[in-house]
Amino acid sequence: MSDPTQQTLDALNGTAVHLRHVRKARDATDRVGPRHFLHAGPPLELAAVPGPMRGAIIAGLLLEREAGSAAEAEAIIDRGEVSISPCHDAGAVGAMAGIITPNTPVVVAGTAGGVTTFSPLNEGIGGAMRYGSYDDVTLARLRWLGDVLAPALDEAVRRSDPLDLPALVAEGLRRGDDCHNRLVATTAALLVALTPGLLRTRLDREDLAKVVAFIAGNGHFALPFAISAAKAVTLAASGVPGSPVVTAMASNGREFGIRVSGLGDRWFTVAAPVGDPVLVEGATLDDVTPTMGDSMIAETAGFGAFAMTAAPAIMSFVGGDAARAHEITRRMRTVCAGTSERFLIPGEDFRGTPLGIDVHKVRATGVEPVINNGLAHREPGRGRAGAGITPIPVEPFAAASRALEEAGHAGRAAAVEGAHA
Amino acid sequence: MSDPTQQTLDALNGTAVHLRHVRKARDATDRVGPRHFLHAGPPLELAAVPGPMRGAIIAGLLLEREAGSAAEAEAIIDRGEVSISPCHDAGAVGAMAGIITPNTPVVVAGTAGGVTTFSPLNEGIGGAMRYGSYDDVTLARLRWLGDVLAPALDEAVRRSDPLDLPALVAEGLRRGDDCHNRLVATTAALLVALTPGLLRTRLDREDLAKVVAFIAGNGHFALPFAISAAKAVTLAASGVPGSPVVTAMASNGREFGIRVSGLGDRWFTVAAPVGDPVLVEGATLDDVTPTMGDSMIAETAGFGAFAMTAAPAIMSFVGGDAARAHEITRRMRTVCAGTSERFLIPGEDFRGTPLGIDVHKVRATGVEPVINNGLAHREPGRGRAGAGITPIPVEPFAAASRALEEAGHAGRAAAVEGAHA
């Protein structure tokens, strides 16, 4: 039997993932109900959800027609008549609030081994459910995405060759995207791949034009395609006894948590960091919800901030320059177990991205893993307040390293003298 | 009155160019006829055309139905019953052989100042007229491009917002293309921009699907859009008295020539170089037609090889690594008059590309300008034999520098002691 770390890396590197469906969540999972929603990050109490997540739950109750008004939805929440559980426990990942309800349109990815994952369609910039918006425009767009765009894409998927999602991410990295915070070229590649199939659907010409225009106008449209693939490969890499490789990072806006391959579904958490974001005009640090969302599954799977050298164009958006991008990727190599075999960086002569955070290495080096993320405004529906490269404190990684040690799985890195934390 | 060099740079930097039409050449110019075709590079005798250009002329005579067979076309050529003149003299640029006949489908670009340029649609890889292919597949594709795809795109252009072509190139550079030899991301961006307009055309669904699939499957489709824009800005920069800035580079497969802003339409030539290309499998250097085509108008306008640091992914295709890409862009800065204000390189913290080759500087430094080009097989229709970063000998630049000097326009750079050549 091979080394647990290598076994985990092999799964991260070798798991094929294809786009399966674009459909409502109720058709993708039995883990949601009209009064049971999924949310981003580790578990938290309904009463403790941050502003944007509460707003998204209100949007969800309106979308499900469980409430006729925001006030009714608030009352349902306050009476505790809706329940929530983590996306990750349902094989899902959601950006920002990550609220998934039965009628939420989602991208469904699948592996040959039978792992299925899903992630909500990206609604575009401006007011959006993932930022806690629940106004009429947001609701109307969600219904259109679920009733028009999703069935059209689903039919296009059926009428197209299977779309290899890690290959889409790999192509995105060749086109200057990190595929977490910059996906404009990946979105174009995705649209180009799906358009012939879209033309073969029964969709009428006007709706077709609207669908294409929506995707073309939303530079983050490819995000759920990328992160559902990332969730699929990290799920495939989970459950390797003794493996110190991180298989999930996620935050609910209060707590940031990680899961580790050799430690099952246990979360190791720390207060969600804010980092040092580039704020949108007019915003202050007080306006920012601490890191929230499941999209850092990107970094967990070897892209996003870990591929920063592939995406120098994003640096001005998140703060920094090309030299900082190189420094970030270089530092992440010091805490990763290996190198990606399919996410290659042209500007580093096609060297693979750093792949598979090793909790022992984080503990031993004290190097904080980073994510390339957006930050939601504290008030529901106000959208993005900033974006940045956010360092994650060492604590949860060190705690996981100790837990593996206690279980008799000491890492080589952890044996280093003077290990931190 | 401003400095001639600055005046030329201002035109290269500031000329707005938009996509105007996609139509047959006969509807774009009166400089072609059933027996008069345009060709790449400086003027040459019909009897002297290299193999692929002869093949393309055969294809042109078949396309125009002036010949019923290749043998008939050969006889027309051998009797001198067809004439040719440079694309550049008609405001056109053609990749490889660059043969443009009345029925050749072309991209038409235009400036607000009334400059109009055009370039043949890219036929895709494999046998193609630009490589001298004249078989039935090539002819059928050319007719389909002219009769179906071009009118569809033309209608899409009319039904779309004006497409800013230099902005398309600039976006391409942000997406890892150099826009001369790598255009896969630019092509996707172009298709995404045109698809909503395409959906508004009268084209039936099946033809629409074929048009989209053709563009999506041809990573060089954006090339004529990029180089017709380059021709438009370099034309706008032409004719500035005393300016030492190169406004055209082009090769007919025998001679490589340049034009200079302050020296009108005069060509300064040198034997077309072969360089040190990466050959396709099975090819030898003997199989290669020396540099041929007008597409190095890309470098003339500040992209292509001059933007190599934006496109590290192309380096393995043309030979070299990311360090060589940096070295190329760095060296081109030493022979250029300025820096592009719109072609920015993310990996150099959005520094502009080197812009405007100054013939005095080439002469003074002895640094050979380079182009990032494909090389045709000597035999018509065999396609590409190689690709590489080809250095252009200093001679024509030095000759132009001397001609300016003789006309009383000595450059600052030429005054440097120990000037080469």
Q: How far is CA A247 from CA A10, A11, A44, A114, A296, in A?
A: 13, 11, 20, 18, 11
Helix residue spans in B223-289 (DSSP H): 223-236
CB A247 within 8 A of CB A261: yes
Kindly identify which residue of chain A lies nearest to residue B160, measuring between CA atoms. Answer: A213
Residue A356 belongs to some domain of the structure: yes
List pLDDT tens digits, range B355-365.
999 999 999 99
**Å between A347 CA and nearest CA of chain B:** 5
Pairing outcome for strands A255-260 and A268-271:
antiparallel
Query: What is residue A417's predicted lDDT score, i.e. its pLDDT?
Result: 40
**Å between B312 CA and nearest CA of chain A:** 5
Query: What does residue A78 show for φ and ψ, rounded to 5 degrees?
Result: -65, -30
Residue A420 belongs to some domain of the structure: no
| Nearest alpha-carbon partner for B121 in B138, B146, B102 | B146
Same domain, yes or no: B313 and B190: no
Which residues of chain B have a CB within 8 Å of the CB of A184? 175
Same domain, yes or no: B85 and B221: yes
Same domain, yes or no: B331 and B365: yes
Is A199 within 8 Å of B176 when comparing Cβ atoms?
no
CB B304 within 8 A of CB B372: yes
Query: What does residue B54 show for φ and ψ, rounded to 5 degrees?
Result: -60, -45
Q: Which of A155, A174, A203, A211 to mutate to test the interface with B (most CBs of B within 10 A)?
A: A174
**What per-residue string of b and e applies to B59-72 under the rule 16 or more CB within 10 Å gives b?**
bbbbbbebbeebee
Residue B232 belongs to some domain of the structure: no
Query: What is residue B409's predicted lDDT score, i.e. its pLDDT?
Result: 84
Is B346 within 8 Å of A193 when comparing Cβ atoms?
no
Is A346 within 8 Å of B193 when comparing Cβ atoms?
no
Is A312 within 8 Å of B347 when comparing Cβ atoms?
yes
What are the residues of chain A with a beta carbon less than 8 Å away from any beta carbon of chain B?
A: 174-176, 184-185, 188-189, 191-193, 195-196, 199-200, 205, 208-209, 212-213, 216, 311-313, 315-316, 321-322, 346-350
Helix axes A51-63, A136-144, angle to 10 degrees: 60
Residue B124 has pLDDT above 90, yes or no: yes
Pairing outcome for strands B83-86 and B36-39:
parallel
Kindly identify which residue of chain A lies nearest to residue B177, measuring between CA atoms. Answer: A175
Kindly identify which residue of chain A lies nearest to residue B193, measuring between CA atoms. Answer: A216
Across the range B55-78, mean pLDDT stands at 98
Measured CA to CA, the distance from residue A103 to residue A355 in angstroms comes to 34
Kindly identify which residue of chain B lies nearest to residue A201, measuring between CA atoms. Answer: B205
CB B70 within 8 A of CB B129: no
Which residues of chain B have a CB within 8 Å of the CB of A315? 346, 349
Is A321 within 8 Å of B349 when comparing Cβ atoms?
yes
Kindly identify which residue of chain B lies nearest to residue A211, measuring between CA atoms. Answer: B196
Domain with residue A248: its CATH number is 3.90.1700.10
Measured CA to CA, the distance from residue A228 to residue B328 in angstroms comes to 39
Q: Which of A174, A176, A200 sits opposite B174 (nearest CB)?
A: A176
Measured CA to CA, the distance from residue A278 to residue A315 in angstroms comes to 10
Query: What is residue B100's predicted lDDT score, i.e. its pLDDT?
Result: 98
Burial class from Cβ neighbours inside 10 Å (0-12, 13-18, 19+) for residue B162 reads exposed
Which residues of chain A have a CB within 8 Å of the CB of B311? 346
Same domain, yes or no: A187 and A49: yes
Is A200 within 8 Å of B209 when comparing Cβ atoms?
yes
Query: What is residue B421's predicted lDDT score, i.e. its pLDDT?
Result: 40
Q: Which residue has the tokens 């398309």?
A: B168
Which residues of chain A have a CB within 8 Å of the CB of B313? 174, 346
Same domain, yes or no: A119 and A59: yes
Which residues of chain A have a CB within 8 Å of the CB of B201? none
Measured on CA atoms in the order A43, A49, A50, A53, is the torsion positive or negative?
positive
Is A199 within 8 Å of B216 when comparing Cβ atoms?
no
DSSP code at position B9: H
Residue B78 belongs to some domain of the structure: yes
Query: What is residue B411's predicted lDDT score, i.e. its pLDDT?
Result: 63
Query: What is residue A412's predicted lDDT score, i.e. its pLDDT?
Result: 54
Residue A37: give the domain boundaries. Answer: 4-226
CB B378 within 8 A of CB B288: yes
**What per-residue string of b and e applies to B203-232 under the rule 16 or more CB within 10 Å gives b?**
beeebbbbbbebbbebbbbbbbbbbbbbbb
Query: What is residue B420's predicted lDDT score, i.e. its pLDDT?
Result: 45
- Where a domain ends, among A165, A193, A226? A226
- Where residue B7 falls among pLDDT bands split at 50, 70, 90? very high
Domain with residue A73: its CATH number is 3.90.1710.10
Same domain, yes or no: A173 and A266: no
Q: Which two tokens stand for residue A184?
A: 């404009």
List pLDDT tens digits, range B216-230.
999 999 999 999 999
- Where a domain ends, among A191, A226, A261? A226
Is A216 within 8 Å of B195 when comparing Cβ atoms?
yes
Start-to-end C-alpha separation, chain A: 31
**Å between B198 CA and nearest CA of chain A:** 9
Query: What is residue A418's predicted lDDT score, i.e. its pLDDT?
Result: 41
Same domain, yes or no: B108 and B33: yes
Which residues of chain A have a CB within 8 Å of the CB of B184? 175
**What per-residue string of b and e applies to B250-282 under the rule 16 or more CB within 10 Å gives b?**
bbbbbbbbbbbbbbeeebbbbebbbbebebbee
Same domain, yes or no: B146 and B43: yes
| Nearest alpha-carbon partner for B11 in B240, B167, B170, B226 | B240
Same domain, yes or no: A330 and A210: no
Same domain, yes or no: B192 and B303: no
CB A208 within 8 A of CB B208: no
Burial class from Cβ neighbours inside 10 Å (0-12, 13-18, 19+) for residue A406 reads exposed
Pairing outcome for strands A351-357 and A336-345:
antiparallel
| pLDDT by residue, tens only, chain A of 421 residues | 579 999 999 999 999 999 999 999 999 999 999 999 999 999 999 999 999 999 999 999 999 999 999 999 999 999 999 999 999 999 999 999 999 999 999 999 999 999 999 999 999 987 899 999 999 999 999 999 999 999 999 999 999 999 999 999 999 999 999 999 999 999 999 999 999 999 999 899 999 999 999 999 999 999 999 999 999 999 999 999 999 999 999 999 999 999 999 999 999 999 999 999 999 999 999 999 999 999 999 999 999 999 999 999 888 788 889 999 999 999 999 999 999 999 999 999 999 999 999 999 999 999 999 999 999 999 987 889 999 999 999 999 999 999 999 998 876 544 444 444 4
Same domain, yes or no: B68 and B144: yes
Q: How many domains does chain B have?
A: 2
Residue B172 belongs to some domain of the structure: yes
- Where a domain ends, among B204, B226, B248? B226
Query: What is residue B316's predicted lDDT score, i.e. its pLDDT?
Result: 79
List pLDDT tens digits, range B392-408.
999 999 999 999 999 98
Residue A232 belongs to some domain of the structure: no
Query: What does residue B223 show for φ and ψ, rounded to 5 degrees?
Result: -55, -50
What 3-state DSSP class applies to B388? strand
Q: Which two tokens stand for residue B393?
A: 């000998």
Residue B420 belongs to some domain of the structure: no
Measured CA to CA, the distance from residue A309 to residue B347 in angstroms comes to 8
Mean pLDDT of all residues in chain B? Answer: 94
**Å between A19 CA and nearest CA of chain B:** 19
Kindly identify which residue of chain B lies nearest to residue A345, measuring between CA atoms. Answer: B313
Is A185 within 8 Å of B175 when comparing Cβ atoms?
yes
Is A216 within 8 Å of B208 when comparing Cβ atoms?
no
Q: How far is CA B333 from the centre of its chain?
A: 21
Q: Which residues on neighbouring strands pair with residue B246, listed in sequence order? A: B260
Measured CA to CA, the distance from residue B19 to residue B2 in angstroms comes to 30
Same domain, yes or no: A305 and A156: no
Q: Which of B193, B216, B350 sits opposite A195 (nearest CB)?
A: B216
Q: Which residue has the higher pLDDT, B126 or B106?
A: B106
Query: What is residue A419's predicted lDDT score, i.e. its pLDDT?
Result: 42
Measured CA to CA, the distance from residue A343 to residue A325 in angstroms comes to 16
**Å between B220 CA and nearest CA of chain A:** 14
What is the number of helices (H) and of strands (E) in chain B? 14, 14
Is A347 within 8 Å of B312 when comparing Cβ atoms?
yes
**Å between B346 CA and nearest CA of chain A:** 5
Is A350 within 8 Å of B316 when comparing Cβ atoms?
yes
Residue A174 belongs to some domain of the structure: yes
Is A346 within 8 Å of B192 when comparing Cβ atoms?
no
Which amino acid would we find at residue B33? G
- Where residue B410 falls among pLDDT bands split at 50, 70, 90? confident
Q: Which of B208, B209, B313 sits opposite A346 (nearest CB)?
A: B313
Q: Which of A184, A199, A210, A315 to mutate to test the interface with B (most CBs of B within 10 A)?
A: A199
Is B208 within 8 Å of A199 when comparing Cβ atoms?
yes
Q: Three-state SS across chain A?
A: CCCHHHHHHHHHHHCCEEEEEEEEHHHCCCCCECCEEEECCCCCCHHHCCHHHHHHHHHHHHHCCCCCCHHHHHHHHHCCCCEEEEHHHHCECCECCCCECCCCEEEEEEECCCCEEEEECCCCCCCCHHHCCCCHHHHHHHHHHHHHHHHHHHHHHHCCCCCEHHHHHHHHHHCCCCCCCCCHHHHHHHHHHHHHHHHCCCCCHHHHHHHHHHHHCCCCCCHHHHHHHHHHHHHHCCCCCCCCEEEEEEEECCEEEEEEHHHCCCCEEEECCCCCCEECCCCCHHHECCCEECCCHHHHCCCHHHHHHHCHHHHHHHCCCHHHHHHHHHHHHHHEEEEEEEEEEHHHCCEEEEEEEEHHHHHHHCCCCEEEEEEEECCCCCCEEEEEEEECCCHHHHHHHHHHHHCCCCCCHHHCCCCCC
Phi-psi sector, A324: left (phi>0), alpha (psi -120 to 50), beta? alpha
Which residues of chain B have a CB within 8 Å of the CB of A195? 191, 195, 212, 216
Is A185 within 8 Å of B176 when comparing Cβ atoms?
yes
List pLDDT tens digits, range B252-273.
999 999 999 999 999 999 999 9
Q: Which residues on neighbouring strands pair with residue B375, listed in sequence order? A: B386
Query: What is residue A266's predicted lDDT score, i.e. its pLDDT?
Result: 98
Is A312 within 8 Å of B216 when comparing Cβ atoms?
no
Which residues of chain A have a CB within 8 Å of the CB of B175? 175-176, 184-185
